[in-house]
Amino acid sequence: MYYQLYYKLTAGAYDLLDFVYFRNPGKSPRKAVVSCIGKKESVLDICCGTGANAIKIAKERPDAKVVGADISKEMLAVAKEKRRKAGAPNLKFYHMDATKTEFKDACFDKISMALVLHEMPEELAGRVICELKRLLKDNGELIITEWEPSKIRWQKLLFLPIHLMEPKSYRILLKKDLNAYFKTFGLEIVETKHCDYTKVLRIRKVKSDER
Ligand SMILES: C[S@@+](CC[C@H](N)C(=O)[O-])C[C@H]1O[C@@H](n2cnc3c(N)ncnc32)[C@H](O)[C@@H]1O
């Protein structure tokens, strides 16, 4: 509830985040996410916010079918305006709750969720991950972007506002053994890409006959 009000009030300024933290295209998590997407895949960007990942994927993978979904109408309004300017006919946005989307079972090759997990209390995060697993095809992959505090001194300073402002769930997630965590959902981390202030995890759905 607190976050819904937060994103309602900050939607117009949200993209400053990319301007401040993800300026270096070579080390941007946005680029790392796109590199995980194949040419003709069906892709969901869940909790897409102002559409940074969804729009980049749709532009750089014009043959992919891309969907962005978010619970905040204000964030979606910014995303739709950006899509209009970018011109991305292969991208649709939907107003949806990530815990109970209206998509069919096993309909996406890839699902991206960026900078979201650390904001969710354990129980809510668990419900979202279960829902995303339902939506993934058998060989599908979840692509999670999460904060990773930098060891470089000046980056540490610039990251301080994020480090101080994020909720308790952020600190809990930082300490978590993510391999073990995702395993409990029948998911397996297959690659970690280290980017500016973040890491991008490629997480595979383990088929029931493999367990
Ligand atoms: C930190 S922003 C991340 C936005 C975007 N993924 C990015 O990388 O910039 C978190 C987003 O999650 C959305 N969100 C939070 N809970 C949600 C839920 N239950 N269902 C859908 N979206 C949700 C918020 O509205 C917000 O737009």
Q: Encode pLDDT of 109-161 as tens digits.
A: 999 999 999 999 999 999 999 999 999 999 899 999 999 998 899 999 999 99
* Tens digits of residue pLDDT in 159-170: 999 989 899 999
Distance 113 CA to ligand 1 centre (A): 8
Distance 73 CA to ligand 1 centre (A): 11
Residue 21's identity, in one-letter code, is Y
Whole-structure pTM value = 0.96
Phi, psi of 6 (to 5 degrees): -60, -50
Place of tokens 């969720």: 113
Residue among 4, 66, 71, 132 to mutate when testing ligand 1 (max atoms within 8 A of CB): 71
**CATH of the domain spanning 2-210, picked from 3.40.50.720, 3.40.920.10, 3.40.50.150, 1.10.340.30:** 3.40.50.150
CB-CB contact of 204 with 36 (8 Å)? no
